[in-house]
Every structure is written in C-alpha cells, then in structure tokens.
Structure 1
C-alpha cells in the first residue's frame, strides 16, 4: 500500500499530507478546512455536498478550498498524487475566504509550484519544519484567491494531448506532434497548455516520466539505468537530475527510503 506522508505544523494548527497515486473511495466530512492542489491528473466520480455523483477529470494545478461542513465523496480507480492541507478553524478564518461551498481555480501555476516544493520537503528523510511551514503558508495565501477565480475548463481536444503524453511519455515527443493532437498550431498549444495546467508541455512530460520512474523504483528491483530508459529519460544521469531537482534526492536514495 503506498505511503501517505503527513506532517503537523504550527503547533498542530496545520497538517500537510502527500497522498500517493492509488485507487481510493473516500468520504470526507470536512471537520477541518481543507486546501488541496493536484500534482497529477486524476479521473473518477465525486459528490460535493450532495448525493449527486458526477464524473470528474481534474488536471494538475487545480487549487481547491473546502470549508468545514462541506462533505466530499470521491472515488477513483487509479487516483493521482495530491497535496492536502488541513487547517483548524481560527487559522482558516484568518487566511481563507468566508464561503459555505467548495471553490477552486485551475491552471494555478503558483499553487502547483508550491505543491511540488512541499512534496520535495516531505519526501526528504528529515523535514525542515520552518521551510515546510513557510511553503504551506504560501499555499494558504493563494487560497484566498479561489473565491474570485472562475474555473478554466479545458476543451476535449486538450485532453487528447494529455492522453498522448500518458501513452507515449517514454518516446521523444515533439511540439509538432502534440499540436497535431490538439488541432492547433504550436504557439497556441504552448499558450493553452500553460493556461490549463501551469506547466509547459516539456515540464509536464518530465513530471510524467518522473512519476513513472518513482512507481517503478517503488515496485520493482530493476536496475536504475533500465528504468531511466524505460520511462523516456535519455540516460540514468538525466533521471538523477530530475529526481534531485524535484524530489531532493537521488534515485538510489529514493529506492532506499521507499
């Protein structure tokens, strides 16, 4: 079972969790205020403060705030890595919008960057409490803007680009190929990709390869050099650079820990 990494901050007033990619079915009564950011695309069914279940397809970079008392049911056959903050009532009232429903913003580049940095800080063996608190509060600061941000809904053509990356991330994809899948020119693809996710196509592709490498390292004992090639990195040192930059450790250190 994949590990949930959790850390209490600010004397217990704030809890940060890194939820792994795994199938799940959960109902959260939201006894705390929650603020979350998707680190991976996630698809499934959910019901927010009602019994009506609807399909969802959430892209990376969606920042969602759920106030206390709003019940959320969510179910996914594959899940997706997710960064979740739980705040006590006084802390939330000081920093988050006064709403009685769930609010969210998509394509939030700042939220995605802070979420990935929190992931890196949680993964290292000895967490730096001050760095974690600063980063978490930076994310809380962004939460106040969700109440006034309309959600950007990606067109169906855009999901074809994500599906192509998901299916061919181990290949040397080009901007021309991705633009063809989108049905637009390369410049329009670049603009819309950043708008909907908050990352460039190349940065997103590196993240998809990184996630695939993590899962392979966790679940197999295959040589790291083979894993690097299998997930699309040019060589093992290229994969190592991505691990150090985004996770704060080498692939060997990651294997030792997880």
Structure 2
C-alpha cells in the first residue's frame, strides 16, 4: 500500500486514534508498489476497484482484482506485497496494539469477504470524516471502532462464479460513467433480467448500480478538481452530472463537502 503520500490534493489522510492504539488511513487512487510486514493485524475495505499483483504471506505473486466493498482481514505477522499501476481508493485500519486490548477478537488467518455493505458504508463514512476540515474526533473514533468490530467476521469468501460477468459491468461503468447508462444496458452484460441483475449486483458490491455509478462520477470529478483548473460547471458535465448543482448534491452526500469546498482544500481557486 502507498505510505508516502501526504496531502489532501493526493487524497491521502492518516490519523492515529484512541491514544495511538489504532491507525486509520485513507489511501488514494495512485500507482504504488509496497511490501508491508505487519506487526499487528489490519482491516481494509476497497472504496474503488483495484487491480494489480500481490503476494500474501509468501513470495508467490498472483493477479488480483479487488472490487469495491471487499473487506480484507490480515492477521499479525503476515507479510503483504502489493502493487498496482493505478491503485484505487482504500480505507485501511491498522492495530498498533493487541486487538484484544480493545475487546476485539484477534484474527488467525487472512480472509476476504466481497460485497460487504456494512464495511463499505463505514468506509465511506470514515472518508467523509477524514476529509472534513473540522474533524470530529469522537465521531471518527466511533466510526473506526465500529469498522474494527468487523474484524470478527469468520465467513468463507463468497463464491466467485459471477466475477467475470460483474467484472464486465464494472469495466463498462468505469469507461462510460459520463454517459446516461440504463439498467437494461448494464444487465445485458451479465445475461440477466433487470430485477435479478439489480439484486445480484447489490449483493456482490454492497451498493446498487445507480449508487455505484454516482460514486464513480464523484471520484472522477474529485480527480479533475484536484488536477485541473476547469470550472466546476464544466467538470460536472464532463463527469456525467446533469449540471453543477447535481454534482454538488452528490458531493455533499458522499464526501460531506461541496465541490467548492473540496477545491479550496486542494489549494486551487474557485
């Protein structure tokens, strides 16, 4: 995981919480290559799709495709190597002390659970709190502890029989998020009818197709705000929103900030 980025422009935020017991990080969508020998366990959730190569507890490298909403628990002492050409926004919680000291069970093996709606919701909430220039320490610590409590999950990974079909849907949204996509068009990628597609996608990702499309549009707008001087109205149209106020409403709901506030945080002019 990238560990050297440090500015709001780059989307990286880090806070030590509960007197240094927990380390909460919002890792940005950025290329990285890192090896992480963990002393204590960690828990992470993908906020965006992320593809690359990793090696978990060995030198054997394997391709990975981590979907949004994938919750991953890595116990203490398991070394993780991971690299990605473009990364993907990721919320990572590290224990800086024994989990039992917090009244949380310690994991014994690495687990991944895709489509974890609760983890994704808490990850998005933590992101809003971390980006808030007037951070509420109590709310952030409460959110981090609720997220930490998910480390007790002991369920087998969901079956991946439908990964190829839903991979096509995620790719289509990534490539055509600025277009007026329909449920029928998305369902056609999987060969399902619209109702079954809606149910299966929501189960696989932890969000409805429309909610995920809006999330992708907001993230695309964030990157344009961070790295360009385009007017906000132009960014809204460029990323698939009907108009600037439509984009503003999505920003407030997802990030807790208006686009103008987010631009101010990134050090750019309105």
Provide TM-score, normalisation by structure 1: 0.96
SS of residue matched to 2:51: strand
If each structure's helix is expressed as a fraction of its own residues, which one has the higher value? 1
Which residues of 2 match residues 204-243 of structure 1 at below 5 A?
Answer: 204-243=212-251
Provide TM-score, normalisation by structure 2: 0.92
The 8 Å contact of residues 43 and 151 in structure 2, kept in 1 or not, is answered as yes
State which of 234, 247, 251 in structure 1 corresponds to 2:255.
Answer: 247
Change beyond 3 A, Cα 1:98–1:211: closer
The 8 Å contact of residues 33 and 92 in structure 1, kept in 2 or not, is answered as no
State which of 53, 65, 75 in structure 2 corresponds to 1:57.
Answer: 65
1:3 deviates by: 4.3
1:92 deviates by: 4.9
1:89 deviates by: 3.2
State the number of aligned residues. Answer: 256
Which residues of 2 match residues 91-110 of structure 1 at below 5 A?
Answer: 91-92=99-100, 94-99=103-108, 101-110=109-118
2:135 is the counterpart of 1:127: yes
Which residues of 2 match residues 112-123 of structure 1 at below 5 A?
Answer: 112-123=120-131
State which of 129, 151, 157 in structure 2 corresponds to 1:150.
Answer: 157
Unmatched 5+ stretches in structure 1: none
SS of residue matched to 1:65: strand
Alignment partners' CA distance in 2, 1:166 and 1:211: 11
The 8 Å contact of residues 107 and 195 in structure 1, kept in 2 or not, is answered as yes
The 8 Å contact of residues 13 and 91 in structure 1, kept in 2 or not, is answered as no
Alignment partners' CA distance in 1, 2:262 and 2:100: 34
Greater shift, 182-191 or 149-158, is seen at 149-158
SS of residue matched to 1:55: strand
The 8 Å contact of residues 170 and 233 in structure 1, kept in 2 or not, is answered as yes
Alignment partners' CA distance in 2, 1:164 and 1:3: 25
Alignment partners' CA distance in 1, 2:131 and 2:228: 19
Alignment partners' CA distance in 2, 1:148 and 1:8: 29
Q: Which residue of 2 aligns with 1:172?
A: 180
The 8 Å contact of residues 152 and 196 in structure 1, kept in 2 or not, is answered as no
The 8 Å contact of residues 74 and 107 in structure 2, kept in 1 or not, is answered as no
The 8 Å contact of residues 16 and 86 in structure 1, kept in 2 or not, is answered as yes
Alignment partners' CA distance in 1, 2:156 and 2:212: 23
